[in-house]
Structure 1
Amino acid sequence: MPITFHPAKKDIKAFESKDYGRREDSVGSQAERILKGACYEQYRRADEILQSSFDTFSRQSQEQVQEFIPLTNGFVHTVLEAYNNHRALVIRPDDVWLAILIQFNMFVNGNAEVLRSQFVLHEGKKELTVTYVGDVRKVDYGELAHKMTTEIEKNVTDPVLRDWILPDFSTTETNDTIVCSIVMMATMKEYFSYKFMLLCGIPKVTLQGEKEDWEKILSRLEKLKEYGLQTIAWYHLLHPVTSRFVRAFDAPDAQENLDFWQQVCHYEGGGSGPTWLSGWITAFCVFDLKGAWMGNKFKGNAQSPNPASLPTSDFFSTFLEVPPVVADPFGFDPPREPLQLDGALYHRIDDNDVPAGSCEVDVLVVDASSTKEEPREVWCLMVAGQVGMRLSSSSGAIGEGAPLNADDKKDTVQPVAGWWMFTKLFEGEYRDERTQTRWSRPS
């Protein structure tokens, strides 16, 4: 438990309002004002503050804001203020440890090459990347910094360095961990460069039905093994995906499940060249409109007495070529390995080659409903498939007729199946060609 004692026989002296009242200046946000007062050199280089631990100050009362005084060294100057001006002093273990870490940071950066062998094996700077779903103004940068310490831990020679730096005291709060995570990044900055890669993603997923429904799909996949090597390969692509749909019902918030849904797709390339689509979504894009295989290439003379009985990894190594590692054409990102789930390697396709989600069939309708006329033959076409997406609100029910939320925001999408039956026009009678509409990903 905390202890309190009285080193000097002095009365505690209170601040006067003039000592800590807000100093008016041209700085807008409280976070910016504090940055200016505490870290002026960094303030001079600051354009837009995206996020800080002082964001809540903008929502606090003026009195609460005035209870904070920016200082260039929060620990040393606070202790000196208490000592010189008879203030009561409160110190947490986190405060002392952070003061030590800041000094250690300066020591390491000032002697980086002398100390290099004690921290890393590589020369120069190695780039470390943390990927996250979100945009530049809404992502949690504190969490990203904490994740980055894990990447540092993987790439330093000292296995206990991260645990030694990050606080775990009884007084430690989330903000303390974030601050020390950033300090750890700064301490290792002569050995590493850091990148936060912000990606697209699905913020919320609802799997409708019962777990047993998804298990039925899993069992139905077995029949695909009856139709040859291509459908066996397809089975091995679909099984890891569908099995994870099933497992989600047991542990929807498990990190494994959340990570899986961040592997839906990845776009590569662009500019004047093609844009490639990869990720487990390509398990649903293995045949083109003519039934040609779009997946990883089959080896020429591969054989096995019973291909359908092979485990996934053995089937892939026996019959399919390994897809190439994809280099970033612009040189910004490291080469991207193909996604692998349970031994299955997922291919990539040009996003213009995503096959249609519908199919068609001719039907001859013989209309003999009239007793006064001869039966009439009418050639028709039936079209069916997944033909769009329904918009609804995440605050309402899911599915057809789902109400909107209070703000009338349509923020949820769901695939829609549909069908048509129509009489056919024959070649030479086709309607004038119209501009084709196509849903494309935002640029």
Structure 2
Amino acid sequence: VSQHINYNAEKFRYRFVNHEGKKEIAIPITGILNSNGSLLEGDFPETIDRLVVKTNEAVEKIDVKSLLECDFSTTTKISLTASQIVLLDMLKEYFSYKGYITCGIPKITLKGTLEDWTKLQEKVIQLRQLDLDMDFWLDRLDPVIWKLVETYKGNIDEEFWSKIISKQSFGSGPIIAGWTTAFYPYKINGKKLEN
């Protein structure tokens, strides 16, 4: 089937997709495939499966995955992956395939209980009430603690989390920015770290 479709890709385009040319199918491969020198290592069946799922979603006309994937009682992981590769090959005139590595922090886990997190909020309030001239720091720390509590409650602010940390380069050298710096009242040189 794959070879036949490839030989007649334009004739059968309308049976699979509504677009002209090729659409890019891109999947994250961080943690699945890794480079070891000049070799690519990792879980290739998982990578192929993710490409097939994403490609199947992009095919507007039919469910090619259920039609052409090897899904019999005798199917092994190898035969399933082989059938998926053939499926991707069949659609190569309509799609290009790409894997990319994601940067950043892939996952955050807030441990403890909600009571722990609200207790932390209360401790920040109590520190402020002691009037220890720490407002330069607590003004930065307080909103971060509140956001962490909201996250623990399930109210996730993706924009907040996207700004956890960044490296910025200047003529005087790179600096670390982002709200994670709110946990540090002082710079390494002992000077106050302010906004």
Give the AA of the match of 2:148.
L
Residue 171 (structure 2) pairs with residue 345 (structure 1): no
TM-score (norm 2): 0.62
Structure with greater helix percent: 2
Q: CA deviation at 1:119?
A: 0.7
Q: CA deviation at 1:186?
A: 0.5
How is 1:66-215 mapped onto 2 (pairs within 5 angstroms)? 104-134=1-31, 135-136=34-35, 137-199=40-102, 213-215=112-114
In structure 2, relative to structure 1, the CA distance for the partners of 1:237 and 1:183 (3 Å cut) is farther
In structure 2, relative to structure 1, the CA distance for the partners of 1:232 and 1:109 (3 Å cut) is farther
Q: Are the aligned partners of 1:237 and 1:344 in contact in 2 as well (CA < 8 Å)?
A: no
TM-score (norm 1): 0.30
Partner of residue 85, structure 1: none
Give the AA of the match of 1:359.
P
Gaps of 5+ in 2: 129-139, 168-174, 191-195
Q: Secondary structure at the match of 1:359?
A: coil
Give the AA of the match of 1:128.
I
How is 1:14-413 mapped onto 2 (pairs within 5 angstroms)? 104-134=1-31, 135-136=34-35, 137-199=40-102, 213-220=112-119, 234=144, 237-239=147-149, 241-242=151-152, 342-346=156-160, 347-348=162-163, 350-351=166-167, 352-354=175-177, 355=181, 357-359=183-185
Q: CA deviation at 1:234?
A: 3.9
Q: Secondary structure at the match of 2:97?
A: strand
> Which structure ranks higher in relative contact order (CA pairs < 8 Å, sequence separation ≥ 6)?
2
Q: Deviations over 1:231-276 (max 9, x none)?
A: 88646642465457xxxxxxxxxxxxxxxxxxxxxxxxxxxxxxxx
Equivalents in 1 of 2:99, 2:25: separation in Å? 9
Q: Secondary structure at the match of 1:353?
A: strand
Equivalents in 2 of 1:232, 1:359: separation in Å? 12
Q: CA deviation at 1:105?
A: 0.4
Equivalents in 1 of 2:96, 2:159: separation in Å? 30
Q: Deviations over 1:271-329 (max 9, x none)?
A: xxxxxxxxxxxxxxxxxxxxxxxxxxxxxxxxxxxxxxxxx6xxxxxxxxxxxxxxxxx
Gaps of 5+ in 1: 1-103, 245-311, 313-341, 361-380, 382-443
In structure 2, relative to structure 1, the CA distance for the partners of 1:151 and 1:171 (3 Å cut) is same
| Aligned residue-pair number | 155
Equivalents in 2 of 1:184, 1:149: separation in Å? 8
State the percentage of identical aligned residues.
26
Equivalents in 1 of 2:15, 2:149: separation in Å? 46
Equivalents in 2 of 1:159, 1:236: separation in Å? 47
Partner of residue 137, structure 2: none
Q: CA deviation at 1:220?
A: 3.7
In structure 2, relative to structure 1, the CA distance for the partners of 1:133 and 1:217 (3 Å cut) is farther
In terms of Rg, which structure is larger? 1
Q: Secondary structure at the match of 2:101?
A: strand
Give the AA of the match of 2:17.
V
